[in-house]
């Protein structure tokens, strides 16, 4: 057997800082959402839905000069069309920030497969699919359930708990640490990595680069540990995986690990938190689910529709006229699955949460070729987290609505959620 020397050297050594382009960072209150939108301002984080509903009515493809220029479609029809149209919209960047990676980073991108375009995308995605099927993730259900119980045991008679910090966030952190084969006690570091990648988009570039560096230092440490001591987990799987008859590029291994860590954690944490927030402020729904646990899978889809945590982005490939607007090459498109999910043209009573909604063709996990690879895992975690909570803590409410905080940026969910459980 030959020694795997791909990771002996730091794969970043000798690499130039990717060129790409930077634009001036513009922050501060939005003047008009139709011409100056920003998904990282506090007003959007606190409650984006009225903003989106207003735009859908008066300017369904809104624009901003911030982030070097971008568009925000709010109709389901337009969001779907863009998700399907990989010919005109590229995934080479999927976080709308002040930096555009260079064009030649496509079709692989920094974090395959989410940052990849066809034809490479399909092959990078195919590597991951077998590990994330419904049947495969079902094997983790028992451990996830036991872990949820242990978190609630930890409340130990407290009257007020923070369901986001003390419950929701730990579940996906533990599941992802197990799947990747990272030490479970590293959870708090994952939280930092996630916040840096997703919430720090308006930080100065040097800070962004330093933050990214820390994540990749950590991943390289884990990779080297797995090269020395292979295990039955996703890290070893990616180290051994082959594409086109060769092992993966070191940057592909690390990039996919970064993606799983980031995409797997605060998305699911947000979905669990938003569901508990809804139930805390809606006693009728809470009581009904406690009485009819069989309704939970249906209710869960409604929480995913109404509080879809994930918004993606695309870059326009070439100048074009698109559904009435003039898009320029390298303009951003903020692809709001949450806005699509509340379009009255697609859903009856779109602005209401109806926990027994039977027809629910929502797009919380995306549409088209980038459909969330982790959707079966996320659904399992969300269901188990809510089942255990409702079984152990059937009566709860918001301790103080004014203290609830929501993550800003493209993944939205409660980050502080004080609940009275005593």
Q: Report how far residue 261's alpha carbon sits from residue 118's, in angstroms, rounded to the nearest whole number.
A: 23
Candidates 62, 312, 333, 390: give the one binding ligand HEM (CB under 6 A).
312
Give the three-state DSSP class for 418. Answer: strand
Contacted entry of ligand HEM, another protein, none for residue 94, CB cut-off 5 to 8 Å set by kind: ligand HEM
Using left for φ > 0, alpha for ψ between -120 and 50, and beta otherwise, residue 324 falls in left
Q: Are 371 and 365 in contact (CB under 8 A)?
A: yes
C-beta neighbour count of 251 within 10 angstroms: 17
Residue 276: HSE in the Cβ half-sphere, 13 Å Cα cutoff: 41
Which of another protein, ligand HEM, none has residue 205 at its interface (CB below 5 to 8 Å by kind)?
ligand HEM
Extract the tokens encoding 315. Answer: 């870059």
Q: Least distance from C-beta 251 to another protein, angstroms?
A: 25
Provide the β-strand partners of residue 70.
Answer: 64, 332
Confirm if 68 and 23 have CB atoms less than 8 A apart.
yes
- Quote the least distance from Cβ 367 to another protein, whole Å: 6
Nearer to ligand HEM, 327 or 372 (CB): 372
Give whichever of 1 and 359 is closer to another protein, judged by the CB atom: 359
Among another protein, ligand HEM, none, the one that 133 touches (CB under a kind-dependent 5 to 8 A) is: another protein
The site partner of 110 among another protein, ligand HEM, none (C-beta below 5 to 8 Å per kind) is ligand HEM
Show Cβ contacts of residue 227 under 8 Å, excluding neighbours closer than 6 positions: 4, 7, 239
- Exposed, middle or buried, 54 (CB in 10 Å: 0-12/13-18/19+)? middle
* Nearest to another protein of 9, 371 (CB atom): 371
Q: Is 13 in the site for ligand HEM (CB under 6 A)?
A: no
| Torsions phi, psi for 115 (to 5 deg) | -95, 10
Q: Is 97 in the site for ligand HEM (CB under 6 A)?
A: yes
- To the nearest whole angstrom, how small is the minimum distance from the Cβ of residue 187 to another protein? 27
Closest approach, Cβ 308 to another protein, in A, equals 12
- Kindly write out the interface string for residues 124-163 of this chain, putting x where it contacts ligand HEM by CB under 6 A and - elsewhere: -x--x-----------------------------------
**Nearest residue to the partner ligand HEM, using Cβ:** 374
Question: What is the per-residue binding string for ligand HEM in 377-406, x denoting contact by CB under 6 A?
Answer: xx----------------------------
95 interacts with ligand HEM by CB under 6 A:
yes
Whole-Å CA distances, 328 to 85, 89, 209, 243, 387 = 16, 11, 27, 34, 47
Q: Quote the least distance from Cβ 136 to another protein, whole Å.
A: 9
Whether 248 contacts 163, CB under 8 Å: no
User: Could you report how far apart the first and last alpha carbons of the chain are, in Å?
Assistant: 60
Beta carbons of 302 and 353 less than 8 angstroms apart: yes
Residue 342 interaction partner, one of another protein, ligand HEM, none, beta carbon < 5-8 Å per kind: none
Identity of the residue, 110 or 276, whose beta carbon is nearer to ligand HEM in the bound complex = 110
Residue 17 is classified by DSSP as P
Contact between 315 and ligand HEM per CB under 6 A: no
205 lies in the site for ligand HEM, by CB under 6 A: yes
Return d(Cα 149, Cα 114) in angstroms, integer: 33
Partner that binds at residue 260, options ligand HEM, another protein, none, CB closer than 5 to 8 Å by kind: ligand HEM
Question: Half-sphere exposure of 203 toward its Cβ, with a 13 Å CA cutoff?
Answer: 16
Q: Residues 272 to 311: which contact ligand HEM by CB under 6 A? A: 309-310
> Which is nearer to another protein, 132 or 307 (by Cβ)?
132
Using CB under 8 A, list all residues that contact another protein: 126, 129-130, 132-135, 297, 301, 358-363, 365, 367-369, 371, 375-376, 379
Residue 208 contact partner, candidates another protein, ligand HEM, none, CB within 5 to 8 A by sort of partner: ligand HEM
Query: Any contact of residue 110 with ligand HEM (CB under 6 A)?
Result: yes
Range 110-113 contact pairs with CB under 8 angstroms and sequence separation of 24 or more: 110/251, 110/255, 111/255, 111/256, 111/258, 111/259, 111/262, 112/252, 112/255, 112/256, 112/259, 113/256, 113/259, 113/370, 113/373
**Binding-site ranges for ligand HEM (CB under 6 A):** 12, 15, 17-18, 83, 91, 93-95, 97-99, 110-111, 113-114, 125, 128, 197, 201, 205, 208-209, 212, 251, 254-255, 258-260, 263-264, 267-268, 271, 309-310, 312, 337, 364-366, 370, 372-374, 377-378
């Amino acid at each position: 057997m030959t020694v795997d020397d791909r990771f002996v050297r730091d794969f970043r050594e000798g690499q130039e800082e990717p060129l790409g382009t930077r634009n001036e960072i513009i922050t501060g209150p939005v003047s008009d959402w139709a011409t100056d939108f920003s998904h990282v301002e506090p007003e959007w984080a606190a409650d984006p839905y009225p903003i989106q509903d207003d735009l859908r009515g008066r300017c369904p493809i809104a624009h901003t000069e911030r982030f070097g220029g971008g568009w925000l479609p709010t109709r389901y029809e337009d969001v779907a069309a863009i998700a399907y149209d990989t010919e005109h919209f590229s995934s080479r960047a999927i976080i709308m920030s002040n930096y555009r990676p260079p064009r030649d980073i496509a079709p692989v991108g920094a974090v395959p497969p989410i940052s990849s375009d066809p034809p490479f995308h399909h092959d990078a995605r195919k590597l991951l699919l077998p590990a994330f099927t419904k049947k495969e993730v079902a094997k983790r259900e028992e451990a996830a359930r036991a872990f949820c119980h242990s978190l609630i045991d930890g409340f130990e008679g407290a009257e007020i708990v923070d369901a986001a910090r003390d419950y929701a966030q730990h579940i996906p952190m533990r599941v992802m640490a197990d799947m990747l084969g990272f030490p479970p006690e590293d959870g708090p570091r994952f939280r930092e990595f996630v916040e840096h990648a997703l919430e720090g988009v308006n930080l100065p570039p040097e800070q962004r680069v330093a933050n990214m560096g820390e994540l990749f230092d950590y991943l390289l440490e884990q990779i080297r540990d797995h090269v020395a001591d292979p295990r039955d987990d996703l890290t070893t799987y990616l180290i051994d995986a082959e594409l086109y008859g060769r092992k993966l590029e070191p940057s592909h291994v690390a990039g996919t690990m970064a993606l799983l860590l980031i995409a797997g954690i605060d998305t699911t944490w947000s979905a669990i938190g938003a569901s508990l927030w809804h139930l805390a402020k809606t006693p009728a729904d809470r009581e009904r689910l406690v009485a009819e646990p069989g309704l939970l899978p249906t209710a869960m889809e409604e929480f995913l529709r109404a509080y879809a945590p994930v918004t993606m982005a695309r870059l326009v490939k070439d100048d074009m006229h698109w559904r009435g607007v003039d898009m320029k090459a390298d303009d951003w498109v903020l692809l709001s699955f949450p806005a699509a999910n509340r379009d009255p043209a697609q859903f009856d009573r779109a602005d209401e949460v109806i926990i027994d909604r039977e027809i629910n063709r929502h797009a919380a996990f995306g549409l088209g070729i980038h459909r969330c690879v982790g959707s079966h895992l996320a659904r399992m975690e969300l269901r188990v987290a809510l089942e255990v909570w409702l079984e152990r803590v059937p009566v709860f409410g918001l301790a103080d609505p004014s203290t609830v905080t929501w993550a800003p940026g493209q993944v939205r969910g409660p980050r502080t959620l004080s609940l009275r459980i005593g």
